Amino acid sequence: MKINSKTMKLHKNGDVAYLTYNALDKIDFIHHAFSTRLGGVSVGSKESMNLSFEHDDFDKVTENYHRFCDAAGFDFDSLVASSQDHHTFVRVCTSNEKGIGIYREKDIESVDALVTNEKDVTLVTYYADCTPIFFVDTKNRCIGLAHSGWRGTVSKIAEKVVCTMRENYNTNPKDLVCAIGPAISKCCYEVDNDCADHFYALGLDDSKFVFPKGDTKYMVDMLECNRQILVSCGVKNENITISDLCTKCNSDLLWSHRATGGDRGTMSAFLVLK
């Protein structure tokens, strides 16, 4: 399988396929990946690489994690997962959190972003159209991952991650390298008037991410909106990469909530300091 992307590379190791960012591949002290729907053992509507334990067999999802980690080069024992519900809480992670949400029970509800400055603590967040955001502080060597659905986007979860990294690790936004996506893109993300109003209220250049199409319907570019939020926080525009892969348009490779009517598996983003 091939992809048409200028920003990301598709890798295949055995049956497992995963994506990496060209820009993040250049940073030698991190390792990252974004899963696809290929290479796992889940069955039915979640076939085959489903990485969410909700509404799937625990043993099959655990096996999926083992297969993915073996193929993409992550230590299964180092994983720590979010507990997402479209809010903006950012969890500061250490080695004490390893295994939470994977082989240890979740101990906090409502965690949509993770940060760490410790090596060998692999951050894991979940997606199936919502927007992943990768954060790498190239000076102080700390990292973050955020899950940004439309609610998280308009609540500026990206800004909250930058603030958390600054407060805990003395991060200067100018030293951040960020990557946004893959996610459902402006070609496919239609919302109603009530949702669009939240984007208009942000006070950003909404002409670049809200596009009226009539009958109180709008197309929204959440990736561009998150880019503008990052820039407003002080992240350099040249340090931000936006994925050119739409999850719905590439639903043969990527899980898409809208493409499947919600009956689907889930992808994960992985990020670790070497």
* Phi, psi (deg, nearest 5) at residue 45: -70, -15
Contacts of 61 (CB under 8 A, 6+ apart): 42, 50, 51, 52, 53
Token pair belonging to 48: 């085959």
pTM of the complete model beyond 0.85: yes
Pairing of strands 142-148, 217-220: unpaired
Furthest CA-CA distance within the chain = 51
Three-state DSSP state, 21? strand
Asked if 180 and 240 touch (Cβ cutoff 8 Å), the reply is yes
Strand order of the β-sheet with 210-214 is 190-192, 217-220, 210-214
Distance of alpha carbon 227 from alpha carbon 133, whole angstroms: 10
- Per-residue model confidence (pLDDT) at position 261: 95
pLDDT at residue 109, rounded to an integer: 86
As a CATH number, domain 8-184+237-273 is: 3.60.140.10
Query: What is the mean pLDDT of each successive set of 10 residues along the chain, which is 274 residues long?
Result: 93 98 98 98 98 96 98 98 92 98 92 98 98 98 98 98 98 98 98 97 98 95 98 98 98 97 97 98
Give long-range contacts, CB 8 A cutoff, 24+ apart: 21-26: 21/134, 21/179, 21/241, 21/243, 22/241, 23/177, 23/179, 23/241, 24/134, 24/136, 24/177, 24/179, 24/241
pLDDT given at position 138: 98
Q: How far apart are CA 6 and CA 25, in angstroms?
A: 14
Residues 6 or more apart whose CB falls under 8 angstroms from that of 192 comprise 216, 217, 218
The pLDDT, as a whole number, for residue 86 is: 86
